[in-house]
Amino acid sequence: MREMQEDTIAALATPFGESAVSVVRISGPAALDIAEKILRPRGRTAVKEWKSHSLYLAEVWDAEGKEKLDEALAAVMRAPRSYTGEDVVEIHGHGGRLVCQEVLNAVLDAGARLAAPGEFTRRAFLNGKMDLVQAEAVADLIRARSDAARRLALRQMEGRLSEKLERFKERLVGVAAAMEAAIDFPEEGLEIDEDWLSPLEEASFLLGRILEGARGGRTVREGIRVVIIGRPNVGKSSLWNALIGEDRAIVTDIPGTTRDVLEEEVTIRGVPLRLADTAGIREAVDLVERIGVEKTREMLRRGQVVVVVLDAAEGFQAEDRLIVELAEGLPRVIAVNKTDLTEQRITEEELKRVFPGEPLHWISVKEGWGIDEVKEAILQKALDGLGVEENEWLVSNARQERALRKVQECLDSAIAALRSQMPLECVQVDLREGLTALGEVTGEALDEQVIDRIFSDFCIGK
């Protein structure tokens, strides 16, 4: 699978549109030949004699040499010291819509093929410049919507997770090789090693810890869904507006104003939060409101953190108790609103009985009291126990997580077989399946269709 490609590809590596600079990237065995056809260096050094990883000033001409298209800086990156592991040429020209398209057309007319989405990174993977975890991290880095997601993608792109998985693999291979020797050479008198169980149990425990962190990886990558619920007119929409920093939700004194779920993404201390404002939960008075309440219940089932908003002026009511029951078992933040009003019917003692051991946040959205504390409480609930910052084992996508769960199943099956003193051949079957599943994480054991699907999600030019 990992071999140099026969054709040469090209694409615009910067967004199409007006900008200061546009970059056309060429990669493949004919990259230097194509560059020589369309580039006329200002100096005396021919394109094929340029030093690797150095910039040169050149004119860009069409493939037939009839028309000058642009003036650019160009660089050659010779194989294997390039992103793709092949000869790469980059042309850094002016960023107008027409000029960058004309330069790309000249490259294609000179013999290159337009690259498919993610094909440059795919070639880097196929040529052994990176494994699949690192390749997927490239896409994650480009799409990162928060500092935490960026840092996680960068750690994986640097190969930190890959290095740990490689050491994990070496441990399993060592046990599998020893078992293989005992099976294949019985005449040598190799005995079953009672210590084989210990490294397998340690590996299974470690893998369990990795999979526990998978939720943290997905959280950082995809964002945390935060659902704001409460009775009508307790200030849910006002709190939502305050948390997102703009007046998007309609706020009135009329109960049941919010009829649909409104969502907005904000970033708090580098972590993306997907805040959902919901319809107030009560006995709906019309069909539209009933639909809104049902959407609220559905959103609750998908929520990762729930903000329960109560009204300090009206006291704790029967509808509040229903809301508390709906949010039972979910990470909750309790926000008691309208504390600016003189008359308050709700008491701290009453709420402590309803929410034993849970912090209460006394706020006034109208006056802006306690909003920052609610933000911090949401973030703390969302990240509690995830260990996002210090955990280098974080798995950030579902494909990697599925493969690792398969590894753990195989490990646990091998451990059970060893404890039951089953034939070593049975244990070996489980270990081989586990190693194959581990190879799926890094891309050593994936079929072409899966690889095609992964790289098709990349942007063209990367």
Q: Which residues contact 447 (CB under 8 A, 6 or more apart)?
A: none
pLDDT attached to residue 190:
44
Q: Which one of 3.40.50.2300, 1.10.3720.10, 3.40.50.300, 3.90.850.10 gives the CATH number of domain 221-383?
A: 3.40.50.300
Quote the mean pLDDT of the chain.
83
* Torsion sign over Cα 377, 381, 384, 389: negative
Residue-wise pLDDT tens digits, 128-139: 999 999 999 898
Q: pLDDT above 70 covers what percent of the chain?
A: 82
The answer to whether residues 253 and 364 touch, using CB atoms and an 8 Å cutoff, is no
Q: Which fold has domain 9-131?
A: Gyrase A; domain 2 (3.30.1360)
pLDDT band at residue 258 under the 50/70/90 scheme: very low
Q: Which of 220-229, 348-357, 369-378, 426-435 has the lowest mean pLDDT?
A: 220-229
* Torsion sign over Cα 414, 132, 151, 118: negative
pLDDT attached to residue 215:
63
Q: Is the pLDDT of residue 221 over 60?
A: yes
Closest CA to 231 of 163, 116, 326, 351: 326
pLDDT attached to residue 329:
80
Q: Is the pLDDT of residue 419 over 80?
A: yes
pLDDT attached to residue 391:
53
User: What distance in Å separates the CA atoms of residue 115 and residue 119, rounded to the nearest whole number?
Assistant: 6
Residue-wise pLDDT tens digits, 379-402: 888 776 454 544 556 776 888 889
Which long-range contacts does 151-156 make (Cβ < 8 Å, 24+ apart)? Answer: 151/270, 151/389, 152/217, 152/220, 152/221, 152/388, 152/394, 152/396, 153/221, 153/396, 155/392, 155/394, 156/396
pLDDT attached to residue 335:
92
pLDDT attached to residue 220:
67
Peptide bond connecting 117 to the previous residue in cis, omega within 30 degrees of 0: no
pLDDT attached to residue 126:
92
pLDDT band at residue 50 under the 50/70/90 scheme: very high
The answer to whether residues 309 and 338 touch, using CB atoms and an 8 Å cutoff, is no
Q: pLDDT above 90 covers what percent of the chain?
A: 35
Q: What angle do CA 416, 421, 426 make, to 5 degrees?
A: 70
Residue-wise pLDDT tens digits, 148-180: 778 878 888 888 888 888 888 888 888 888 888
Where are the domains positioned within the chain?
9-131, 145-213+393-443, 221-383
- What's the predicted TM-score (pTM) here? 0.72
Residue-wise pLDDT tens digits, 327-368: 788 889 999 999 888 777 888 888 888 889 899 999 999 898
Which has more confidence, 8 or 234?
8
pLDDT attached to residue 3:
44
Tracing tokens 């703009």 back to the chain, one arrives at 246
Which CATH code fits 145-213+393-443? 1.20.120.430
The answer to whether residues 305 and 382 touch, using CB atoms and an 8 Å cutoff, is yes
Q: Is the pLDDT of residue 77 over 90?
A: yes
